[in-house]
Amino acid sequence: MAIAAASAGELASVCEIGEATAEKIIAAARDKLDMGYKTAVEILQKRKEIGQGLPR
């Protein structure tokens, strides 16, 4: 997961590669981890669904 969370600049510096190559590597790592984008509205809706039925 560290590669998926790294910036292109960090990865390029550590691995001595170009930033374009680093961006491709990071994109592939994120794809494998299924780090999809969710909007704040989607997250709020999910939190509401999780909270339903819980004792207060």
Average pLDDT per consecutive 10 residues, the chain (56 residues; last block may be shorter):
91 97 94 82 90 67
Q: Note the pLDDT of residue 34.
A: 78
Q: Note the pLDDT of residue 56.
A: 61
For residue 32, give every residue at least 6 positions away whose Cβ sits within 8 Å of its Cβ, in sequence order, or none.
Answer: 4
Fold of 2-51: DNA polymerase; domain 1 (1.10.150)
Q: Note the pLDDT of residue 21.
A: 98
Q: Note the pLDDT of residue 11.
A: 96
Q: Note the pLDDT of residue 8.
A: 96
Please state the pTM of the whole predicted model.
Answer: 0.61
Q: Note the pLDDT of residue 52.
A: 72
